[in-house]
Amino acid sequence: MANQHFDALVQHLISGANGLGESRKAMLALCLSLLLGLWVLSKLYNAREHPLSRFPGPFTAQFSNFSHCKRFLGGKQPYEMLKLHQRYGPVVRIAPNELSFNTHGSWRDIYDKRKGHMPFIKSDFYDGGSFAAEAHSIVSERDPEKHAQMRKYLRDAFSDRSLREQESLINHSVDEFIDRIGEEGSSLSGIDIVMWFNLLTFDIIGGLAFGQSFGGVSSGTEHFWVSIVVKSLRMGALADCFKRFPWPGAVFQRMFPGLLSKLIEDTRKHEAYTMSLVKKRTTEKSERKDFLTKILEARETDNVSDIQIAAHSSDFVIAGSETTATALSCITYYLQKNPDILKKLQEEVRNNFRSYQEIDNASTASLPYLNAVILEGMRMYPPLPFPLPRVVPEGGDTIDGHFIPAGTVVSTNPFAASMSPDNFHDPWAFSPERWLHSAPEDVLEASQPFSLGTRSCLGKR
């Protein structure tokens, strides 16, 4: 906030310099020098006297958000955060008022509900996530009470009973996917399995969240709405940096008005299309069992508007599609790189099922090696690799033995935690066995791909 006021004051002083006499210009120069000196002193305070100055981290992180934004926009944030933790330890100061952790204890202390402790509220990273600037979703809502109300009427859509009812819809998309992969994979050139997994997961989540598939698997191409959603994820990083640097953000928008206009156009197109899908699903009489079935049942009692439903459905697609495709791609890659593990998994599946039709959610849940492969895949490549920032509550609190002052932004970095040798022995080795016969050097709680607590993923099972 102080930096914003400083930038605005400097801009005002410079704009008023024209037409002043020499003496006034000299006075203005003196004022600017004093302001610059105060700015330097504030940065030195952040570096040496700030309550977080005792925590190690990059030099620039002591007084600037620049290095944080550079990592976030560079596309390699998970790997760079891993390097920072390898260099500085389990707690790293990554911005003037922000700390990153990589320990299993920090997962519990930051995200889980602790008796006698106030909750750590989501940071302003989630601001701007409201749908059509009107309705917050289960993901973007920061108020704990409002979030609890949302979770109450949404959780039934993810219950075991609901999942059993939705299984036929999922199976239809999976069957179509297998047929298409068989057709496309017959050539020696191979296929882009990442693309096909994305088409599959978007089709499945589209069917569950809106009542209709996007038709990606059948067409073999990405639906226009899907590409907009993917772009919005990339722009989320840019939006976070604009919050940290408002003045450069304003300059960027003035220098590239075409890009801003395109973003606004895509956002409006996304919102309009989402609303059209929701209205179609809510007005038609349907016997299908999907996410909206339970939400519509609670619509009157919980006073859920169409725009609120659209906000939730949009988040379901974003949270459940690309992330799942990432996990499937990672697991497929490591199975291909480790033929002995692939063979063991094949034997487990083929020894437990006599036909393809026998395979369903309930029967696969009891396959230990299959579940170990899935858990290991999500450990090595967390579907959501960036941290979920929270704010330390009033009075401060202790995180993994460290007292952190109130107002500090904190998070556990998923990739840095799951790939730390302090948490897992030989962390770069794909070893499903670690989930079956836990060794003392494996801290399994350090891998939390669905997060913890009341804000954890609704789809966690």
DSSP-assigned letters across all residues of 387-410: ---EEPPTT-EEETTEEE-TT-EE
Q: Which residues lie below 8 Å from residue 33, measured CB to CB, with a gap of 6+?
A: none
Q: How far is it, in rounded angstroms, from Cα 141 to Cα 312?
A: 11
pLDDT at 178 over 80: yes
pLDDT at 229 over 60: yes
Q: Are 399 and 101 in contact (CB under 8 A)?
A: yes
DSSP string, 133-153: TTB--TTT---HHHHHHHHHH
Is the pLDDT higher at 155 or at 436? 436
Judged by DSSP in three states, 92 sits in: strand
Q: Choose from 78-82, 136-140, 359-363, 454-458 the range with maximum mean pLDDT.
A: 78-82
For residue 225, what pLDDT is reported? 81
Q: Which residues lie below 8 Å from residue 206, measured CB to CB, with a gap of 6+?
A: 212, 213, 214, 223, 317, 321
Q: Tokens at residue 111, please? A: 């995200």
pLDDT band at 130 (very low <50, low <70, confident <90, very high): low
Q: How far is it, in rounded angstroms, from Cα 56 to Cα 18?
A: 45
Q: Tokens at residue 458, please? A: 């609704």
For residue 377, what pLDDT is reported? 98
Place of tokens 């996007």: 214
Q: How far is it, in rounded angstroms, from Cα 344 to Cα 120?
A: 42
For residue 55, what pLDDT is reported? 96
Q: How far is it, in rounded angstroms, from Cα 363 to Cα 346?
A: 15
Classify burial at 209, counting beta carbons within 10 Å of its beta carbon; exposed 0-12, middle 13-18, buried 19 or more: buried
Q: How far is it, in rounded angstroms, from Cα 247 to Cα 4?
A: 7
Judged by DSSP in three states, 98 sits in: strand
Classify burial at 292, counting beta carbons within 10 Å of its beta carbon; exposed 0-12, middle 13-18, buried 19 or more: buried
For residue 35, what pLDDT is reported? 59
Mean pLDDT of 119-138: 79
Is the pLDDT higher at 30 or at 124? 124
pLDDT at 222 over 70: yes
Q: How far is it, in rounded angstroms, from Cα 457 to Cα 256?
A: 36
Q: How far is it, in rounded angstroms, from Cα 269 to Cα 114?
A: 42
Is the pLDDT higher at 10 or at 318? 318
Q: Which residues pair with 101 in a beta bridge?
A: 91, 412
Number of H-type helices and E-type strands within the chain: 19, 7
On the CB side of 303, CA atoms within 13 Å amount to 3
pLDDT digits (tens, 9 = 90+) for 270-328: 888 889 998 888 887 777 788 888 888 878 788 888 888 988 988 888 888 889 999 99
Judged by DSSP in three states, 99 sits in: strand
For residue 21, what pLDDT is reported? 57
pLDDT digits (tens, 9 = 90+) for 343-355: 999 999 999 999 9
Q: How far apart are the first and last CA of the chain?
A: 41
Q: Tokens at residue 236, please? A: 């989320």
Place of tokens 């006034």: 24
pLDDT band at 266 (very low <50, low <70, confident <90, very high): confident
Q: Find out whether 457 is annotated in a ligand binding site.
A: yes
For residue 17, what pLDDT is reported? 47
Mean pLDDT of 226-255: 77
Q: How far is it, in rounded angstroms, from Cα 207 to Cα 128?
A: 27
pLDDT band at 13 (very low <50, low <70, confident <90, very high): very low
Q: Choose from 55-69, 402-416, 432-446 the range with maximum mean pLDDT.
A: 402-416
Mean pLDDT of 51-55: 94
Q: How far is it, in rounded angstroms, from Cα 416 to Cα 239?
A: 24
Q: Which residues lie below 8 Å from residue 301, measured CB to CB, with a gap of 6+?
A: 153
For residue 47, what pLDDT is reported? 59
Q: Are 130 and 436 in contact (CB under 8 A)?
A: no
In CATH terms, the superfamily for domain 152-337 is Cytochrome P450 (1.10.630.10)
Is the pLDDT higher at 23 or at 415? 415
In 3D, which of 402, 442, 437 has the Cα closest to residue 110? 402
pLDDT digits (tens, 9 = 90+) for 355-380: 988 999 889 999 999 999 999 999 99
